Amino acid sequence: MKAATASAPKKEDSGKYRKEKKMSPLKVGPVIYQPEDTLQEKDRLKKDMTLSELNHVFRLYMTKKGLRMKDISILGLFSVIFNDPQFANWHELCKKEQSDVLTGLVRMPEVYNDLIEKIGSTAGDAQIIKSVVKDAYQNAIDSFSHAAYLQKKYRDRFPGFKIVLFVDQVNQALILTLIDNGFGEKIIKPKKSHMGQEYGNDAISRITDWLIRRYVENQEGPVEWDIAYTGGQGMALKKLRIELGMNVDLHFFATGAIFELKLKNIF
C-alpha cells in the first residue's frame, strides 16, 4: 500500500454554480483522499456516494435533534475519503492483512493536520479539539472495518468521515460533529492489554484471553474476533465526560454514526 500523501484540498462539487440553484452548505468543503491523493475516474462515483451518504447521516442527526438546516450556521467542515481498494474485499482478508491496512490509514496526511488545526482554532482550542477528534476518527476507522467485514458495504462506495463545526442558533451552542458511514451501531471490541496489544499465545495469555472473552460477551454481547481494529478501545467517553468535563454523545443511524461534542454556550 502506498504511503499517504498530502494534496491540495478538493471541493466536493467542482461543477459550475447555477444562479437559480443555491449550493447546499454541506456540499462545500475540502476533501482529503487517503491513502492516494487522486482518484481514478472509475472511482469518482464511489466517492460521490460516500459524500452523499455522509451528508444524509448529518441530516438524519439534524432531524433527531429537531433542527433544520436554516437553524444552524456552519463555521467549518472537511471530509476524508478512505479510498483504499482493499475495503471492497475486506471480508476475504485475514485479520493480519486488515490490521496492516488500518495501521496505514490512521496516519493522516499533513493537509489533514492543517485543516483540523483551523477547525480547532475556530472552536477556541486547537490542541484539545485535535486530541478529541483523533479518538473519534480512529473509532470511525474501526467502524469501517466492522462494516466492510460483516456488511460488505464498500463495494459501491468508500468509507469516509466528515467533520462539521456549526452554531446551533436554536439552542445557542457551538457544536463539533464527526460523521462516519460505518457500521451504524455500537460495535463490541475485544479487550486488550494495558499496552493496547492483543494477548499472546502462551498459557497465561490464553487463560486471560478466555476470561476476557467470557466477561465481554456476558456483559456486552458477542465479539467478532476475525475483524481488525486500530488497537485502542475506541473513544474514551468516560474520560472525556468525567476527567475533562466535556459534553459528548454518540448518535447511531442505519447508514452511519455521529460523534457529537458540545463545546460551549456561545451566547
* Nearest residue to 12 via CA among 111, 85, 78, 83: 78
pLDDT at 40: 76
Note the pLDDT tens digit of each residue in 220-241: 667 788 999 987 655 567 777 8
Mean pLDDT per segment of 10 residues, for the chain of length 267 residues? 44 44 77 81 90 97 96 96 95 95 91 95 90 90 96 96 96 95 88 54 60 55 83 65 84 96 70
79 Cβ partners below 8 Å, 6+ apart? 12, 29, 30, 31, 32, 51, 54, 160, 161, 162, 163
- pTM here is 0.82
pLDDT at 7: 47
